[in-house]
Each structure stands twice: as structure tokens, then as C-alpha cells.
A and B are shown apart, each in its own frame.
Chain A
Amino acid sequence: MTASVMDRVRDRAVADRIPISVHFDLTYRCNERCVHCYLDHEDHGEMTTAEVTDVLDQLASAGTLFLVFSGGELLLRKDFFELLAYARQLQFDVKIKTNAMLITQARAERIRDLGVRQIQISVYSHRPEVHDAITKVRGSLERTIAAIRFLRDCGLNVTVANVLMRQNASDYHGVRALAEELGANYTLDPTITPKMNGDTSVVALRMPEPQLLRLFKDSSVVGDGFCGVPAAVDAETLDSAACSAGHIACYISPYGDVYPCVQFPLPSGNLRQQRFTDVWWHSPQLNEVRSIRVRDLTTCPSCTYVASCTRCPGLAYMEGNMRGPSSADCDKSKLRAGAPGAEGTSL
């Protein structure tokens, strides 16, 4: 993708407050039971086909271009291909996030024919015993790899997403090599988020500090310059918004709930009761999120690392204050620079 064009599109979206990017979970049901998952997999009343297509119509009218379909495992929805075809008919740029366990050769061909641009697939380890222990499904790695081959044989753009935690902290080189062998892109993420219901027990699965530090210092993975002296703080940093959540992006749950982001479960409206544009433009919650600038945060403005920190307002919200620090990101900033910042948190 041409970066300069993307920057211009983003700038236009920011200027006109267009919800250019929407993450839409079609179901929370799943055929895996990953140890770190933040979701409740019971079906509490998913939107129907008609409800979802109506929401898609509304999003297209509101200007959404980038649409992420995810879950749960979205292929558990019997109407998944109907919804995908409808989304493509509305000319969304569709990215699918899946564990791929249900993708057959024929389904891979349908996904290709419908013009999906990206498919992101979770792989936790190149070792079946590790991957399958995390998903709690025996044979899941084998099935996922077979599906990646189907998709790649169709010429589709596949990204292997490697969430890292205690159980697989040392396997990222192996997963990256597997992705290369499969002709897939590779991305890793050491973020483990609390459950959407507020349960923080899964946070204990986060990579311990020594492993995280080893990852951050592995330039073959994170690139050069990831660790070191933090960027200087200036007025532009302090006047900036935290991230795109609520500004040009939002999240929609299978039940029609709207949040600023999948990782920011602040209830901001429900599409069974309200039109999307009403929520997007008039939700007090979204407007509050939009009003926050870095200089408004409780401790971050005086932190040495504020200019280079990856603070997530959603994680801060789940810790109790959307204007507060996100301690996991404080820890990461500290590790990258090698000294405590304003918050001075420890793992």
C-alpha cells in the first residue's frame, strides 16, 4: 500500500471524523479455547443476517472503507459467506481474522473470489504441543497450517499473527520461519488483555520481564532502534490524541454494541437501538474519548517516555481510568529505555 496515499486518506478521515476503519466481530463463538482469550464464547444473541447487513449498509454510508471481520471464529456463522459477499458488494476493503481451522480448499477459493485483501491467522507456536496446548484443541496447528497452504495456493495475502505469552515466549523465531516457509507475512504481539468482562486473571500469562526484554533487544525481529533513548517531548506530542480509537475507528460486537476499539470496551451505544451515525456523532462516551489529548492524562505528560510510548487508552480504561497510564505499556517503555518513567511501574 502506498504510504503517502494512506496518509492523505487518514488525514481526510481525521479532518471529517469519518469512521474509516471498523472492526466487526460477527460472533464470539469459537472452536478453540485459547488460554489467554478475552472473550466469553457463549452466544448471548448475535445479530441476525438482516441486522448485520443493515449495519454494513450504515457503515458504507458513513464512509467506512477498512472493515475487519473477526470473532470468535467467524466461520462458525452459517451466513458468513453471505455477509462477506454483501460486504464486498458494498466495496469494503475486507480483512479477515480467523484461526483458519474451518478453511478448506473450496472456502479458500470463495474467499479469493470475493476479493478479500488480507487474512490474518493466529499461530502460537511452530511446535504442535505448544500451539495445541494454548488453543486447547489437539491437531489445531496441523489444521491451521493446512488452511494457510490452501489460502496461499489461491494467491491470497496471509499474515501469521503470533501472540506471545509465557507458554510460547521463546517460539517466535520458529513461527516466523514457519510463516516464511508458507509464504505468509509475520507479525508478533506480546499484548495480553484483560477479559472484556473485567476479569484480569489472564494478565498473569503476559511474558515475564526477562523474556520481554530479550524480545525487545532482538533486532532481527523488532528492527534497529526499538530500544534506546526515548524521543524528545514537544507540544505536538502533548496536543496529540492517544490513538485512532473513537476518532476514525471503532469496534462493533456481535450484539451490536459499539466501543471505541476491540481493546477499549467502553459501551458507547447499541446498533439494535440506535443508528450508527447517531452513535458515532453523538455518543457521550465517544465524544469524551475524542476530547482527550496527551496533555490531559493523569501522569503521562511528565513521563520521560511519553513521546515514544505505545500507551493504549483501552488498557488504561480496563485498569480503571482512560486518562491514566496503561501499566503494561509503562513496563514496555521502561524496558525499551532501561529505566523507570513517571509511573515507575514494575512487572
Chain B
Amino acid sequence: MSTCVVRGDKLAARKVGGEMVILSAEDSSMFLLNEVGTAIWEAADGRRSIQAIADVLCAEYDVDRATALADVTEFVESLAAAGILSVADEAAG
């Protein structure tokens, strides 16, 4: 079964000065993502898996796939713990 990374639906988000600001309507927690985090966030469109997001990162940055995969996995896990992202079993849409 394929998995995909899904953004929460009670979030506000805007790119400010090249970095993504995320704000949760549920608990007012706020996150400012760096450039790489912003790229991961934008790639997490509800249809891509962690592996597919790592591929996007490899295409955009000079990074090997193992490093990209580790970075994406860590990023998704940390935002999932905050309730901002989740990993779903099937692609949305």
C-alpha cells in the first residue's frame, strides 16, 4: 500500500521572505520553516510519499538520495508530532 504526506486542514500558511510560516488554528502553534523545510512542505501536496518528496529535494538541491530521504523523514516525523503533517495510507485526490 502506498503512503503519502498530508498537510493538516486547520492550518494557515504563507511564504514570508522565502520561508514558510505555518500557523495552527487548533492551538495557535507557529512554525517558521527554513528553505529546505519550505521545499519539503511545498512538495508535501497530499499525493507524494516521503520517498517522492526526497526525489524532489534531490532534483532541487545538490544532495544525495540517502541524505535527502533521512532529512525528509526527520522533518515529516517532527511536524507529524506537532500535528502539522501526517502520513496517510493512500494518495489524496
Task: Give me the interface of A with B, judged by CB distance under 8 Å.
Answer: 1-2, 5-6, 8-9, 12-13, 15-16, 18, 20, 60, 63-65, 91-94, 115-117, 157
Q: Is the CB of A5 within 8 A of B31?
A: yes
Q: Beyond the given A64-B14, A91-B14, A93-B23, could you list 12 further A-B residue pairs with CB under 8 A, ordered by the A residue number?
A: A2-B29, A2-B30, A8-B32, A9-B16, A9-B21, A9-B30, A20-B14, A60-B14, A63-B14, A91-B11, A115-B10, A115-B25
Q: Is the CB of A12 within 8 A of B19?
A: yes
Binding site secondary structure of chain A:
loop
Residues of A within 8 A of B10 (CB): 115
Residues of B within 8 A of A115 (CB): 9-12, 25
- Residues 27-50 of chain B: 1 if any A CB is under 8 Å from the residue's CB, otherwise 0? 011111000000000000000000
22 CB < 8 A contacts A-B: A2-B30, A5-B30, A6-B30, A9-B30, A12-B19, A13-B16, A13-B17, A15-B17, A16-B17, A18-B16, A63-B16, A65-B12, A65-B14, A65-B16, A91-B12, A92-B12, A92-B14, A93-B12, A93-B25, A115-B9, A115-B11, A117-B12
Q: Is the CB of B14 within 8 A of A1?
A: no
In the assembled complex, the Cα of A328 lies from the Cα of B25 at a distance in Å of 35
In the assembled complex, the Cα of A20 lies from the Cα of B32 at a distance in Å of 14
- Minimum CB–CB distance for B35 against chain A, Å: 13
In the assembled complex, the Cα of A147 lies from the Cα of B43 at a distance in Å of 40
Q: A9-B21, A117-B23 are in contact. Are A20 and B9 (CB under 8 A)?
A: no
Q: Is the CB of B11 within 8 A of A65?
A: no
Residues of A within 8 A of B15 (CB): 63
In the assembled complex, the Cα of A60 lies from the Cα of B23 at a distance in Å of 15
Task: Verify if B13 is at the interface (C-beta below 8 Å from A).
Answer: yes
Residues of B within 8 A of A157 (CB): 28
The 9 closest A-B pairs by CB, nearest first: A93-B12, A12-B17, A117-B25, A115-B10, A65-B14, A115-B25, A91-B13, A5-B30, A1-B28
Task: Give me the interface of B with A, judged by CB distance under 8 Å.
Answer: 9-17, 19, 21, 23-25, 28-32
Q: A2-B30, A9-B21, A157-B28 are in contact. Are A20 and B12 (CB under 8 A)?
A: no
Residues of B within 8 A of A15 (CB): 17
* Closest chain A residue, CB of each to CB of B14: A65
- Minimum CB–CB distance for A156 against chain B, Å: 9
Residues of A within 8 A of B31 (CB): 5
Name B17's contact: one of A18, A91, A94 (CB within 8 Å).
A18
- Minimum CB–CB distance for A175 against chain B, Å: 23
In the assembled complex, the Cα of A304 lies from the Cα of B60 at a distance in Å of 55
In the assembled complex, the Cα of A1 lies from the Cα of B19 at a distance in Å of 18
Q: Is the CB of A20 within 8 A of B25?
A: no
* Closest chain A residue, CB of each to CB of B24: A117
Q: Is the CB of B28 within 8 A of A117?
A: yes
Q: A115-B9, A115-B10, A115-B11 are in contact. Are A20 and B28 (CB under 8 A)?
A: no
Q: Is the CB of A12 within 8 A of B12?
A: no
Q: A12-B19, A65-B23 are in contact. Are A1 and B29 (CB under 8 A)?
A: yes
In the assembled complex, the Cα of A283 lies from the Cα of B19 at a distance in Å of 27
Name A1's contact: one of B9, B13, B23 (CB within 8 Å).
B23
In the assembled complex, the Cα of A6 lies from the Cα of B22 at a distance in Å of 11
In the assembled complex, the Cα of A310 lies from the Cα of B70 at a distance in Å of 49
In the assembled complex, the Cα of A18 lies from the Cα of B19 at a distance in Å of 13
- Minimum CB–CB distance for A89 against chain B, Å: 10
In the assembled complex, the Cα of A6 lies from the Cα of B16 at a distance in Å of 12
* Closest chain B residue, CB of each to CB of A88: B12
Instruction: Give the most central of B10, B15, B19, B21: most A CB within 10 Å.
Output: B21
Q: Is the CB of B32 within 8 A of A9?
A: yes
Instruction: Give the most central of B11, B16, B23, B29: most A CB within 10 Å.
Output: B16
Instruction: Give the most central of B9, B11, B14: most A CB within 10 Å.
Output: B14
In the assembled complex, the Cα of A18 lies from the Cα of B15 at a distance in Å of 10
Residues of B within 8 A of A93 (CB): 12, 23, 25
Name A116's contact: one of B13, B17, B25, B30 (CB within 8 Å).
B25
Name B21's contact: one of A65, A116, A117 (CB within 8 Å).
A65
In the assembled complex, the Cα of A56 lies from the Cα of B73 at a distance in Å of 34
